[in-house]
Amino acid sequence: MKVDFDGLQAFVCVAELGSFVKAAQQLHLTQTALTRRIQKLESLLDTRLLDRTTRKVELTATGRDFLPQARHLVLDAQRTLE
């Protein structure tokens, strides 16, 4: 399986901030680009990680289970690149 770092980073950011708007701003992306990254990651994993409505974003049960590992991968990659 190919690792989708951009998707992992987007997922972690949305999960931590609880908002696509705030995550897009932090990552310097449009909301559309952020949404596509999340969709690509979910497609790669063949599961939904986030439940989204027009008013809120919540982690699915799978998303809650996956968040610690995703956060760890993103932090490790960032530390390695620094």
Whether the per-residue pLDDT at 49 is higher than 70: the answer is yes
50: left (phi over 0), alpha (psi -120 to 50) or beta: beta
Q: What is the pLDDT of residues 58-75, one digit of tens each?
A: 999 999 999 999 999 999
Read off the pTM: 0.91
* R_g of the chain, CA atoms, integer Å: 12
Q: What is the dihedral of CA 28, 7, 39, 18, to 10 degrees?
A: -60
Query: What's the chain's average pLDDT?
Result: 93
Whether the per-residue pLDDT at 8 is higher than 90: the answer is yes
Burial class (CB in 10 A: 0-12, 13-18, 19+), 65: exposed
Percent of the chain with pLDDT over 90: 84
Whether the per-residue pLDDT at 2 is higher than 80: the answer is no
